[in-house]
Amino acid sequence: MLFRPTAACYKNLKASSKTWVARQFRDPYVKKRLSDPAAYRSRSAFKLLEIDAEWDHFLQKPDVRAVVDLGAAPGGWSQVVAGKLGWGAEASKLPSGGYAYGVKSELEMEKKGTWSSPKSVSHQEVFDPLNIDALKEFTPSAGRGTIVAVDLLRMQPIHGVHAIQADFLSPEAADRIHELLSVKGNLEGKADIILSDMAGNASGNDTHDIESSLEICEAVYEFARRNLRSAEDVGRRRGGVLLMKHFEHPLLQKFRMEKLQPNFNDVKYIKPEASRSASREGYFLCQGWRAIDI
């Protein structure tokens, strides 16, 4: 699929949208996403692939049996996890709807948002489409472990991924996540890895955007504090992993010093090559949850 709007479509776009389309067309990771056999739904999938490859292949450890992806829509990171855990062999055969593909879809995604603070969203209720059931016609072999994706926006199914449409901090979502994770071998319902590629919708006001980033990071940390398996329980110093996006600022470094470093054995700041150089985004990779701050 070529990422190029028709002349008529391009002519009717606003100046800001034309700039965005031009940037997308030049972006090598956008081109790679559109041509990759894995059919990733977002270019951010390559950020997670890069981080995992560079830092100890934490997604592929044999003791990883439960992963939670917060703010998952449109599903690029969940696709990566499903592939790493052996669920992704049939992913390219899935319908490619939603906000994932094409110029119109890309612009709609920018307009409405794709994370747990979307720009416009109606009242939602928790739902749990059994994505594996939706793929009976493929009858692929099963992967391992449990993957749960949570977002206020509805996602197209991904083989091996349980999707919950809800605010991940709501009691209903917490109960459903715990229920899905509480399977044989994981009766306590804990996650081995918690991922968050969430960011608030950019307002153009630096103060507001930084405060939004901090609020999201604090919410994700609070979720991890209650739901992440400890390194001691895993039996591995770097077991119990939290990966979260943030925007670089002294307030976020203070958050790292006060919340992350005392409670994890190792905390790294990462800016993957797939992250645009002009962006202030970065990632905290926190490994070895100590479960001190309970």
For the stretch 62-71, pLDDT in tens is 999 999 999 9
Q: Give the pLDDT of residue 7.
A: 52
- Determine the structural domain holding residue 176 and report its residue range: 43-88+142-289
Note whether residue 5 is domain-resident.
Answer: no
pLDDT of residue 83: 93
Confidence at residue 39, expressed as pLDDT on a 0 to 100 scale: 72
Establish if 172 belongs to a structural domain: yes
**pLDDT on residue 275:** 80
What pLDDT does 103 receive?
39
- Residue 143: its pLDDT value, please? 87
If we measure between CA atoms, which residue out of 223, 208, 210 comes closest to residue 168? 223
State the pLDDT at residue 185.
87
Residue 16 lies in a domain: no
Give catalytic status of residue 245 as yes or no. yes
CATH number of the domain bearing residue 48: 3.40.50.150
Residue among 47, 245, 259, 268 flagged as catalytic: 245
The per-residue pLDDT for 219 is 96
For residue 203, tell me if it sits in a domain: yes
For 20-37, write each residue's pLDDT tens digit: 444 444 544 444 445 454
pLDDT at 292: 74
- pLDDT at position 16, please? 52
**Residue 241 covered by a domain:** yes
Domains: count for the chain:
1
Which residues of the chain are modeled with pLDDT < 50?
1-3, 10, 17, 19-25, 27-33, 35, 37, 90-110, 112-140
Task: Judge whether 3 lies within some domain.
Answer: no
Report pLDDT for 220: 97
